[in-house]
Amino acid sequence: MHYEKNLIEHVMNIMFGEGDTTSMQKYMKDVNIQCELWPIPKKKKREFHLLVASYVLALREKKKFMQNMKGFKTLT
């Protein structure tokens, strides 16, 4: 039961972009992976423009997904 709950929470965090932090994107740049998600530095020293991954849902898509999940029923 707990395994399934944790798995669903993890997948939803990925879909909603919860793990895309500045430190994570800087780490991806350091290890040279997923260059399309690297932070883009702004003119000010400590500011960055963060890009959103293609698999992260937009606000409209999040609302529709949550409406669908609200009506989802499983066997207990």
pLDDT in tens, 15-52: 777 666 667 777 777 888 877 777 777 777 777 767 77
Q: What is the distance of C-alpha 44 from the center of its chain? A: 26
- The count of structural domains within the chain is 1
Q: What are the E-state strand segments in the chain?
A: 40-41, 48-49
With contact defined as beta carbons under 8 Å apart, do 26 and 39 qualify?
yes
| Domain coverage including residue 13 | 2-70
Specify if 75 maps to a domain.
Answer: no
Q: What is the pTM assigned to this prediction?
A: 0.48
Residue given tokens 């260059």 in the structure block: 35
Amino acid 63: pLDDT? 85
Specify if 76 maps to a domain.
Answer: no
Specify if 54 maps to a domain.
Answer: yes
Amino acid 73: pLDDT? 76
